[in-house]
Amino acid sequence: MYVEIAVCLPLSRSFVYKLTDPVEIGSRVVVPFRKHEEDGFVVGLRKDAPAGFEIQSILKVVDPQPLIGPDVFKLCRWISDYYLAPFGEVLKAALPPGITPKHVARNVEAPPAARTPRSDDRLLTTDQLSALFAIQETPGFHTVLLHGVTGSGKTEVYLRAAQHFLGQGKSTLILVPEIGLTPQLTQRFSERFPGMTAILHSSLTKRQRIDEWLRIRSGSIPIVIGTRSAVFAPLDNIGLIVVDEEHETTFKQEELPRYNGRDTAVMRAKFAGCAAVLGSATPSMESFRNAEAKKYTYVPMATRVEDRSMPAVEIVNMRDEYSGQGKPVLFSKRLLDAAAERLERREQTMILLNRRGFAAFLLCRKCGLTFTCTSCSVAMTFHKGIGRLLCHYCGFSKKPPSRCPDCNSEYIHYVGEGTERIEADLKALFPDAAVARIDRDTMRHLRDYQRILGDFRAGNIDIVVGTQMIAKGHDFPNVTLVGVVAADAALALPDFRAAERTFQLLTQVAGRSGRGSQPGEVIIQSYFPDHYAFQLATTHRFEDFYAREARYRKAMFYPPFASLAGIMVLDRDAGAAARLARKVSDFLDSVRNDSIRILGPAPAPLERLKQIYRHQLLLKSSSRPALHDALHRLQQHLEEQKIGPTKVIVDVDPISLL
Ligand SMILES: [Zn+2]
Ligand SMILES: [Zn+2]
């Protein structure tokens, strides 16, 4: 008998082998491949072999019974095709690393004991009831976009829907952007469904991950919460798939196999014939467009639970502050007064600045030299705590010089502030206040994070300073002031989603304020206070933002009004990268139809990263099939030329264009 094998290597095609023992689709095998032994998966069975080739035998069947069920297999095939991801690599990503038949044999789980969820009899709001109706009362596959303002009670909707499907003997899968950033959601599920919830997070050991995976597969755990790779969880009989904070970029995997966990989750729901729920306070342009086109059922939840009011948002024009005080300042008088009031009233404040470190960069005021990383084309950030300049892309660090290496001047100046500087300044301004910082430098482990959040909740901290990590789904009832310093930073990025990201960030962080009985206040500092992303965030008018942003996307032919693919060409040599990018562009030009526009090739905004030069092309098309066809031809062409995915990266529906 002959089988088709997808080898676990970055190759798009499968290869034919022969074997004597029977085997099933989805089984893992070891095969001889280009003078090596490689892992692979059985992806097809066939009676005959292609003529004119010497067919080799499979060396070993690893799993006689495939670990990947038919549903997940089908999902992997879809990912492989849609994202042009190597099928073998996708299948490998669907299994916990290191799982062997021994683990499977040892795992003889007792039949699940009868467990009952704790019930919660609190009355639901009208919005919550409508949401549940839309999720539960439509049979078969359908997608609900749950657009709930921060504090509207989306989690309770997920809990009740999961309970409903559990009552029908069906399981629930919940995807979250990061486990550490959604502690409340995971905690509430574990409390409501004791012994029935598995949480797949990155701090699990290899062994724990395998055990959890096997428990889910045995059918004894009907509720699974995890990050994007949990979309492959071996759940049977799924009734509900939830993607919480669906607008978050972390659902996109930025390495092979490149896929978007949110969109893959919707496909999984489609294959399973079940309900999909995408929840967000600031839906992505793509999902809102799908709702507008009636592909998704749109359910708004516009009021906060217990009729709490939305926080009052105010923008402070920093140009006025500048002229008023005659010098650039970090904090406006308005923000400082408001923070002082909170200290007096024993209420809490959050200050957001989306930049780590002490100073954004170092500048020689005499000759204008800035200090960039030797491996990447980015300025190095000064971190005062460690007394070093640090590259945020590759981690390289060095001691800042006391004199300019070019002109020997001693006028070395620190420009632009980061969270470390904000924290230091606030401590100086409010010496009696307890100030803490949350960013990737202070939060090395999940437990650091939980400790600070615990202290903050207990009221031992008055002011928390942080990056976007503090903007996520936390619920601190005593926070009545949120300040956003340098809100313009995200707008300046060379990315067509810059305004969307800014609007989302401001809305999310504003939602942290006033979640208790006291009304909340938000103060945003900006040099461009008239920008629509700021103006519309102050009034919580998502629909107006969508309409304004949609005009721009339509005019510029960007998603969700065009299909997009990014192609990144990499080489250690700048000239070689440029030449290969040109070749790729010429090839695409020869196979594309009129619906496809090619932008570039051009050096990427981050032209050099970890010593590799990067050139990019962008493909836009009004026709998804035409774009897909051109990319498949390119992939085939590159493989014939033996140009691998380390040289040319194809990214379908790219999230980041840096
Ligand atoms: Zn100089
Ligand atoms: Zn670097």
pLDDT tens per residue across span 390-403: 888 888 899 988 88
Task: Say how far residue 310 (Cα) sits from the centre of its chain.
Answer: 26
Residues 292-316, mean pLDDT to the nearest whole number: 86
Write down all domains in the chain, each with its CATH number in brackets: 2-96 (3.40.1440.60), 126-306 (3.40.50.300), 308-356+418-552 (3.40.50.300), 563-652 (3.30.70.600)
Distance between Cα 419 and ligand 1 center (Å): 27
Residue 413 buriedness (CB in 10 A; 0-12 / 13-18 / 19+) = exposed
User: Minimum-distance ligand to the CA of 374?
Assistant: 2
Distance between Cα 658 and ligand 2 center (Å): 14
Half-sphere exposure of 490 (CA within 13 A, CB side): 22
Segment holding 182, helix H or strand E:
none
Distance between Cα 609 and ligand 2 center (Å): 6
If you search the block for the tokens 């997940």, which residue do you land on? 72
Distance between Cα 374 and ligand 1 center (Å): 17
Question: DSSP letters of 514-562?
Answer: S-SSS--EEEEEES-TTSHHHHHHHTT-HHHHHHHHHHHHHHHT-TTSS
Bridge partner residues of 468 (DSSP)? none
Question: DSSP letters of 436-457?
Answer: EEESTTT--SHHHHHHHHHHHH
**357-361, 380-384, 429-433: segment of lowest average pLDDT:** 357-361
User: Minimum-distance ligand to the CA of 405?
Assistant: 1
- Minimal CA–CA distance to 272: which of 239, 226, 309? 239
pLDDT at position 114, please? 57
Q: Quick check: 173 and 233 in contact, CB under 8 A?
A: yes
Indicate if the pLDDT at residue 17 is higher than 80: yes
- Beta-carbon contacts of residue 333 (< 8 Å; ≥ 6 apart): 321
Q: How far apart are CA 285 and CA 283, in angstroms?
A: 6
For residue 305, what are the CA distances in angstroms to 123, 158, 510, 621? 11, 15, 16, 43
Indicate if the pLDDT at residue 64 is higher than 70: yes
Q: How far apart are CA 112 and CA 99, in angstroms?
A: 23
pLDDT at position 473, please? 60
Peptide bond into 560 cis (omega under 30): yes
Indicate if the pLDDT at residue 516 is higher than 80: no
- Minimal CA–CA distance to 258: which of 643, 641, 635, 642? 635
Residues 430-449, mean pLDDT to the nearest whole number: 85
Q: Quick check: 178 and 250 in contact, CB under 8 A?
A: yes
Distance between Cα 362 and ligand 1 center (Å): 11
Find the helix packing angle between 624-640 and 574-591, rounded to 10°.
Answer: 130
User: Minimum-distance ligand to the CA of 366?
Assistant: 1
Distance between Cα 575 and ligand 1 center (Å): 29
Peptide bond into 601 cis (omega under 30): yes
What average pLDDT is seen over the chain? 89
pLDDT at position 465, please? 93
Kindly report, residue by residue over 464-484, the tens digit of the pLDDT.
998 877 777 667 888 899 999
**Ligand 1 (single-atom ion) residues, CB below 5 Å:** 364, 366-367, 369, 404, 406-407, 409
- Minimal CA–CA distance to 358: which of 378, 387, 337? 387
Residues 39-44, mean pLDDT to the nearest whole number: 95
Distance between Cα 405 and ligand 1 center (Å): 7
From the CB of residue 97, how many other CB atoms can be counted at a distance below 10 Å? 9
- Minimal CA–CA distance to 522: which of 572, 483, 574, 566? 483
Q: How far apart are CA 368 and CA 435, in angstroms?
A: 35
